[in-house]
Chain A
Amino acid sequence: TQLLEQSPQFLSIQEGENLTVYCNSSSVFSSLQWYRQEPGEGPVLLVTVVTGGEVKKLKRLTFQFGDARKDSSLHITAAQPGDTGLYLCAGGESGNTGKLIFGQGTTLQVKP
């Protein structure tokens, strides 16, 4: 069974601080997505990484896929209150089923 473990589960920081969220597995994933979900809304896709070692940037957010495609990280520089939300990583299930394996999520609170 493929599993994705996210850490930390909760993070409360002050505006302007940096943070990193980790997504780890013992399984290889063909691709990995990061989503952000605001309270009462559905998750919104932020990025997809496909190649081992790939790094993608989205403004102050930097996403990295591990060389072995078993782990990923999300780094936020100078966090702002608007970054508050639930961050989910998800990997494509093996066998090309179209299903995603989701991590448990990291709840981020950025205080002004």
Chain B
Amino acid sequence: DVKVTQSSRYLVKRTGEKVFLECVQDMDHENMFWYRQDPGLGLRLIYFSYDVKMKEKGDIPEGYSVSREKKERFSLILESASTNQTSMYLCASSSLAGGISEQYFGPGTRLTVT
């Protein structure tokens, strides 16, 4: 079974703090993704990475950065947290076997910025 783990299930941070969210997958997948999920807005892609040290902006990268130093680990960084970054953050990984991208998600991190 694919396992994707995220460093925290719940996190409360203050405005202006630097926040690190970590994601680890154990299936040797090439691709890793960070999404945020808000009511009424669905899943929105923040960043994704298709290889170590490679990254691409998604639909809403502003205020976020990412790091992928090892294949199994993909970190999302909020440089200076703001209240509008309060959300559910979901990490996913996938391979591209046969041209089909089946994504496997972690349990999510519920981040509250006060």
Contact = CB atoms under 8 A, between A and B. Distances in A.
Given A42-B90, A43-B90, A30 B45 contact: no
A48 interface: yes
A48 B100 contact: yes
Interface in A79-100: 88, 90, 92, 96, 98-100
* Interface residue range, chain A: 20 to 34
A93 B79 CA distance: 29
Contacts of B92: 42
A48 B102 contact: yes
A100 B99 CA distance: 12
Interface in B21-61: 30-31, 33, 42-43, 45, 48, 50, 58
A33 B102 contact: yes
A42 B50 CA distance: 21
B74 interface: no
Instruction: Classify the interface of chain A: helix, strand, loop or mixed.
Output: loop
Contacts of A105: 42
A102 interface: yes
Contacts of B50: 98
Which of B90, B94, B103 is packed against the most chain A CB atoms within 10 Å?
A: B103
Given A30-B100, A99-B58, 13 more contacts: A33-B102, A35-B105, A40-B108, A42-B92, A42-B106, A45-B103, A48-B102, A50-B100, A92-B100, A99-B33, A100-B101, A103-B42, A104-B42
22 contacts: A30-B99, A31-B99, A31-B100, A40-B108, A41-B107, A41-B108, A42-B90, A42-B92, A42-B105, A43-B90, A43-B105, A45-B104, A48-B100, A92-B100, A96-B96, A99-B33, A99-B45, A99-B48, A100-B103, A102-B43, A103-B42, A105-B42
